[in-house]
């Protein structure tokens, strides 16, 4: 230890010169074995290699993903180029006749059949096919040479088959635990495995004494934790460097950001615990550390704990359970706490083992990404002059089925499937909400707002928070009010262009169609321009009611009219058993009718108000002429071009939410809007012919069985080879349709009274009868139900299955009057059950929510009709308040009714 007692170092000497005596202790014949081991086996001065190992590991994974992206990018471009070249070559030779055919044509005057048959045979000869094998329309199948390598395709297919499948959720009581995809979990497993092997594989984990140096296990874990920091920052940014390199959007990289944070916390704990197992203040360690570090062990432990506390907060607060409870607090504090954490790391590490290199890299990535983000903000981008510092103008439109549409004319450009963060200070200055852009950014869809503008359209259903505030502001201020919109984006999107696939299947549920609509329009545009290999597009959209089609009425009409013949098939699945009535303002209509009434009232009141939009005479028009309107199903000249019609901008569009006959006919896409009697009885859930894809546009009632459909498309067709084609893109997830059975049985027509005994009050009925129908029959026979719920449109089976009850403490469940049931179980058998026979089944069926089977027959005990007297008085509130907590709610003659004037009638 004599070598540690050297004269003080000069003031200008760096940290390395101060710790040099500790890490380069000269060995002598008298050196203890522990010191020799610490000097030779895993010296402290070379522990920086563990940080470099992690960097090499992360870079290697990044390079692999980037190579896969480049492979797909070039293969897709090559296939599209070969397709375009083959199409151009075909049409170039289409009107070229050989001399012998021209001579025959001049002699016979018959040029068409001779020429076309020749071209048909020539194409078949060039592609090693018989003329009978060439389909009508010439199905081109160009493929790049490299993409035909069998073993490469097999490896890629095996990877997709293994890692693309979702992991089922785990339910624990009322909670659902969701997992990341198998690919993400595999990468996380590799990272954890690499880190643990780097820390624990090398021996020893501790030196014989703390005076020989810090525990090697702690140093390894600490260097790995510091080396991960730049990757945590890189995967967290919206304008992301990794997105540019590997093509994965920031919203997907955020999953790795969270997992890397958890791994860092694990390594930090492994770094901390050994210093308490082998503390510095024992065995002479304090004397050694005080010679190297100012402040001794107090500085080591104090700065380490100061770094550990914010890291624990960052990881714990990011847990999904806590993040949902206070997301706004988490969003505001996450970045500042992360900056504090990195600043404290500078204090703790003191540039030992070049640790500051990783921290400076983290700051550089952070700053560069924020610099890139400046150009993604519409209010800070200097090239968007009209929106600079003030944002863009936005209009809010209320749609059917409680949906809201925001239209933002902007100079921003985006790709199909991307999303933006939207902030509207006029509604909420703090909220910055992500929304998927449903419109296509193309010259074919210019904005009426002015030259160079594109309409950024956002459609969503309001639930809570910012989306609810948008709905409330739209109802309060009316459709003519405009708002300032601050956009951040676009971000995300797909890594591969869907036009590189022969068949595309787009799957959505409800408002999830917004992520697919721009993809669908882009596919149709590229197919018409001859830039897409795609020959078939199938859209599967599950909606509650047909009124949701009005969200994208114009876009669906473009698909119907402008897509190549038989290229686009839309399958709409209506999951709600009961459609809304066309008239009336019933409670079941929810907010839709209320919004309609409010809009009409606001339009009337705002007729004389000054609009935020300029007068029509000042509107800037485009040179592009609007194509003529074409009715659905109208015939188009053969060979004539069908241009994509420009949708009317939301600023000029007047939306009529009333379900008038004209609106209904305008929404006709070639199928019936109301279900047939058969559809009302048994609502279908999947295609009746699962192997058929060219069945046109259709409506199915019930939830789609996606697994069955996709399996049929993949394994059906001739010889079981499938009908999807070799390259098929499936965009969407099965979870959007909820879980449960894929069959929905409607018992509306199963509503007969089988027998009724007026003397005993015993009634046998079919289970589909509604309560109002049952009460009418009972009234004619001097009978009544002993207990009533508050909804008379329920079926008796629904009353039994859901536990409908009365309105006071004296009234129990309506099912208390049920004497017996007949239930059809899952195995197809129908069983009789009552309180005396098959008791367990009977008790379970009285509140089964339909899980046991289908109730088909009900035996009910009615009572003699009541003789009621209705007394309506207006009395002092004191009489009501006195009995409020005692017996008011137990007295059946009182009825409380809420009125608009908040008056109670008794």
pLDDT of residue 740: 38
399 bridge partner residues: 403
Mean pLDDT value across residues 626-640: 39
818-824 and 762-766 strand pairing: unpaired
Whether residue 21 is preceded by a cis peptide bond, meaning omega within 30 degrees of 0, is no
Residue 161, helix vs strand vs coil: helix
Choice among 70-79, 162-171, 401-410, 623-632 with the minimum mean pLDDT: 623-632
Averaged pLDDT, 468-484: 89
Q: Does the pLDDT at position 831 exceed 60?
A: yes
Q: From start to end of 657-804, where are the E strands? A: 682-683, 698-701, 728-731, 744-745, 753-757, 762-766, 783-784
Give me the mean pLDDT over the 120-135 stretch.
45
Q: What contacts 35, CB < 8 A, 6 or more positions away?
A: 25, 27, 212
Average of pLDDT values for 858-866?
A: 89
- Rg over alpha carbons for the chain, rounded to the nearest Å, is 36
Q: Which residue has the tokens 């049920």?
A: 818
DSSP per residue over 323-357, as a string?
Answer: HHHTHHHHHHHHHHHHHHHHHHHHHHHTTGGGHHH
Which whole-number Å values give the CA distances from 243 to 62, 164, 253, 491, 580, in the listed order? 11, 20, 8, 9, 45
What pLDDT digit, counting tens, does each position of 172-210 carry?
A: 777 777 888 888 889 999 999 999 999 998 888 887 877
Task: Kindly tell me if the per-residue pLDDT of 21 is higher than 70.
Answer: no
| CA 439 – CA 459 distance, rounded (Å) | 10
Contact 423, 463 (CB under 8 A): no
Q: Contact at 8 Å (CB) between 727 and 515?
A: no
- Say if residue 622's pLDDT is above 70: no
> If you average pLDDT over residues 101-119, what whole number do you get?
45
Determine the pLDDT at residue 401: 84
> Any idea what DSSP says for residue 891?
-
Output the pTM of the full model. 0.63
* Nearest to 208, CA basis, from 137, 259, 284, 261: 284
Q: Are strands 418-424 and 403-410 parallel, antiparallel or unpaired?
A: unpaired
Q: How many helices (H) and strands (E) does the chain have?
A: 27, 22
Three-state DSSP state, 535: coil
Pick the CATH number of 727-905 from 3.30.70.360, 1.10.600.10, 3.30.465.10, 3.30.930.10: 3.30.465.10
Write the CB contacts of 100 (distance below 8 Å, at least 6 apart in sequence): none
Average pLDDT over residues 651-671: 39
- 403, containing H or E segment: strand 403-410
pLDDT at 290: 65
Find residue 824's DSSP bridge partners.
Answer: 830, 854
Q: Parse the chain into domains and list their residue ranges.
A: 180-375, 392-574, 727-905
The whole-number pLDDT of residue 608 equals 41
Greatest Cα pair distance in the chain: 116
- Smallest Cα–Cα separation from 312: which of 344, 355, 341? 341
* Torsion of Cα atoms, 527 then 529 then 531 then 533, to 10°: 30
Q: How far is it, in rounded angstroms, from Cα 685 to Cα 701?
A: 6
Selected residue with higher pLDDT from 695 and 348? 348
Mean pLDDT is lowest, of 97-106, 232-241, 795-804, for 97-106
* 8 Å CB contact between 737 and 744: no
At residue 28, the pLDDT reads: 61
- Read off the tokens for 163: 């890692």
Q: With pLDDT > 70 as the criterion, what percentage of the chain qualifies?
A: 66
Peptide bond into 156 cis (omega under 30): no
Rounded Cα–Cα distance for residues 308 and 271 (Å)? 10
Please write the tens of the pLDDT for every residue from 865-901.
887 777 766 665 665 666 666 665 555 445 444 333 3
Residue of higher predicted confidence among 418 and 694: 418
- pLDDT digits 0-9 by tens, 747-798: 878 888 999 998 888 999 998 898 888 988 998 888 988 887 777 788 888 8
Q: What confidence tier does 225 reach under pLDDT thresholds 50, 70, 90?
A: very high
504 in helix, strand or coil? strand
Segment 308-318, tens digit of pLDDT = 999 999 999 98
Question: Would you place residue 587 in the very low, low, confident or very high pLDDT band (cuts 50, 70, 90)?
Answer: very low
b/e map of 835-873 (b: 16 or more CB within 10 Å)? eeebeebbeebbebebebbbbbbbbbebeeeeeeeeeee
Nearest to 230 by CA among 313, 338, 318: 338
Tokens representing residue 135 in the block: 């389909």
At the fourth CATH level, the homologous superfamily of domain 392-574 is Translation factors (2.40.30.10)
CA distance 704 to 542: 8
Tokens, residue 516: 């697919």
**Residues 6 or more apart from 266 whose CB is under 8 A from it?**
192, 195
Rounded CA-CA distance 704/34 in Å is: 70
Looking at residue 715, what is its pLDDT? 63
- The answer to whether residue 681 scores a pLDDT higher than 90 is no
CA gap 548, 539 in Å, rounded: 15
Structure-token pair, residue 518: 């721009």
pLDDT over 60 at 528, yes or no: yes
* pLDDT at position 693 over 80: no
State the chain's mean pLDDT as an integer: 73
Report the range of poorest mean pLDDT among 1-10, 86-95, 110-119, 556-565: 1-10
Q: Which residue(s) pair with 542 in the sheet?
A: 509, 573
Q: What is the distance between the alpha carbons of residues 183 and 256, in angstroms, rounded to a whole number? A: 11
**Which DSSP state fits 400?**
T
Q: What is the pLDDT of residues 322-371, one digit of tens each?
A: 888 877 788 889 999 999 999 999 988 888 888 899 999 999 999 999 89
Q: How far apart are CA 460 and CA 455, in angstroms?
A: 16
Q: List C-alpha distances in Å: 431 to 161, 474, 762.
A: 39, 17, 60
Q: Residues 869, 837: contact at Cβ < 8 Å?
A: no
The set of residues, in sequence order, having a beta carbon less than 8 Å from that of 864 and lying 6+ positions away, is: 761, 782, 783, 784
Give the pLDDT band (50/70/90) at residue 531.
confident
Q: Are 696 and 569 in contact (CB under 8 A)?
A: yes
- Percentage of the chain lying above the pLDDT 90 cut: 17
d(CA 906, CA 888): 11
Distance CA(767)–CA(102), nearest Å, equals: 76
730 strand-pairing partners: 505
């Amino acid at each position: 230890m004599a070598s540690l007692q050297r004269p003080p170092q000069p003031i200008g000497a760096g940290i390395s010169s101060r710790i040099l005596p500790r890490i380069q202790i000269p060995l002598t014949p008298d050196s203890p074995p522990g010191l020799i081991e610490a000097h030779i086996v895993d010296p402290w001065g070379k522990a920086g290699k563990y940080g470099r190992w992690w960097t090499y590991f992360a870079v290697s994974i990044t390079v692999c993903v980037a190579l896969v992206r480049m492979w797909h990018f070039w293969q897709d471009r090559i296939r599209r180029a070969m397709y375009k070249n083959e199409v151009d070559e075909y049409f170039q030779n289409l009107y070229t006749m050989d001399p012998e055919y021209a001579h025959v044509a001049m002699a016979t005057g018959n040029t068409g059949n001779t020429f076309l048959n020749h071209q048909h045979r020539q194409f078949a000869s060039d592609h090693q096919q018989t003329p009978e094998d060439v389909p009508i329309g010439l199905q081109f199948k160009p493929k790049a040479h490299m993409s035909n390598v069998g073993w490469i395709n097999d490896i890629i297919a095996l990877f997709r088959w293994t890692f693309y499948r979702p992991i089922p959720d785990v339910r624990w009581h009322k909670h659902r635990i969701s997992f990341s995809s198998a690919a993400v979990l595999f990468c996380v497993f590799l990272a954890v495995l690499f880190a643990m092997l780097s820390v624990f594989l090398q021996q020893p984990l501790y030196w014989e004494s703390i005076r020989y140096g810090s525990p090697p296990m702690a140093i390894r874990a600490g260097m790995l934790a510091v080396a991960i920091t730049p990757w945590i920052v890189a995967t967290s940014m919206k304008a992301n460097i990794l997105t540019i390199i590997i093509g994965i959007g920031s919203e997907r990289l955020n999953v790795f950001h969270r997992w890397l944070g958890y791994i860092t916390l694990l390594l930090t704990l492994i770094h901390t615990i050994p210093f308490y197992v082998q503390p510095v203040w024992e065995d002479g360690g304090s004397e050694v550390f005080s010679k190297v570090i100012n402040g001794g062990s107090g500085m080591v432990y104090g700065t380490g704990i100061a770094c550990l506390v914010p890291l624990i907060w960052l990881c714990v607060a990011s847990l999904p359970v806590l993040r949902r409870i206070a997301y706004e607090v988490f969003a505001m504090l996450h970045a500042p706490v992360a900056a504090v954490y990195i600043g404290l790391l500078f204090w703790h590490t003191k540039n030992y083992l070049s640790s500051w290199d990783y921290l400076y890299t983290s700051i550089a990535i952070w700053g560069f990404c924020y610099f890139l983000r400046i150009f993604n903000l519409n209010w800070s981008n200097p090239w968007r002059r009209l929106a600079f510092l003030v944002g863009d103008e936005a209009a809010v439109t209320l749609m059917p089925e409680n949906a809201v549409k925001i239209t933002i004319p902007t100079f921003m450009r985006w790709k199909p499937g991307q999303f933006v963060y939207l902030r509207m200070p006029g509604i909420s200055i703090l909220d910055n909400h992500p929304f998927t852009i449903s419109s296509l950014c193309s010259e074919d869809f210019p904005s009426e707002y002015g030259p160079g503008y594109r309409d950024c359209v956002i459609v969503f259903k309001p639930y809570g928070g910012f989306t609810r505030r948008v709905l409330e502001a739209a109802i309060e201020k009316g459709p003519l009010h405009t708002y300032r919109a601050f956009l951040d984006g676009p971000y995300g999107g797909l890594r591969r262009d869907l036009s590189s696939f022969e068949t595309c299947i787009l799957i959505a549920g409800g408002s999830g169609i917004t992520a697919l609509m721009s993809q669908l329009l882009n596919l149709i545009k590229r197919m018409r321009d001859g830039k897409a290999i795609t020959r078939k597009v199938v859209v599967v959209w599950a909606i509650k009611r047909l009124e949701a089609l009005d969200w994208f009425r114009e876009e669906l009409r473009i698909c119907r009219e402008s897509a190549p013949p038989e290229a686009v098939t839309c399958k709409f699945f209506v999951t709600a058993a009961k459609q809304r009535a066309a008239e009336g303002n019933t409670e079941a209509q929810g907010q839709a009718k209320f919004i309609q009434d409010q809009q009409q009232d606001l339009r009337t009141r705002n007729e004389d108000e000054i609009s935020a939009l300029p007068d029509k005479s000042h509107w800037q028009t485009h040179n592009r002429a609007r194509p003529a309107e074409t009715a659905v199903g109208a015939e188009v000249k053969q060979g004539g071009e069908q241009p994509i019609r420009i949708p009317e901008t939301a600023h000029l569009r007047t939306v009529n939410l009333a379900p008038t006959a004209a609106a209904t006919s305008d929404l006709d896409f070639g199928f019936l809007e109301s279900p047939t009697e058969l559809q009302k009885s048994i609502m279908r859930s999947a295609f009746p012919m699962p192997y058929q894809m060219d069945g046109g546009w259709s409506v199915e009632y019930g939830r789609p069985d996606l697994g069955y459909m996709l399996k049929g498309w993949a394994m059906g067709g001739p010889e079981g080879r499938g009908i999807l084609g070799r390259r098929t893109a499936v965009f969407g997830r099965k979870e959007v349709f909820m879980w449960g059975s894929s069959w929905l049985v409607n018992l509306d027509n199963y509503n007969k009274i089988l027998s009724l005994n007026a003397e005993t009050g015993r009634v046998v009925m079919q289970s589909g009868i509604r309560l109002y129908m049952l009460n009418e029959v009972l009234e004619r026979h001097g009978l009544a139900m002993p207990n009533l719920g508050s909804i008379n449109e329920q079926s008796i089976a629904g009353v039994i299955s859901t536990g409908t009850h009365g309105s006071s403490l004296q009234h129990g469940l309506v099912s208390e009057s049920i004497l017996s049931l007949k239930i059809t179980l899952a195995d197809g058998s129908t069983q009789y059950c009552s309180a005396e026979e098959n008791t367990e089944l009977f008790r379970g069926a009285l509140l089964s929510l339909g899980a046991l089977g289908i109730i088909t027959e009900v035996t009910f005990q009615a009572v003699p009709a009541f003789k009621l007297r209705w007394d309506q008085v207006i009395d002092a509130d004191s009489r009501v308040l006195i009995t409020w907590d005692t017996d008011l709610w137990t007295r059946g003659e009182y009825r409380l009714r809420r009125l608009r004037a908040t008056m109670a009638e008794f």
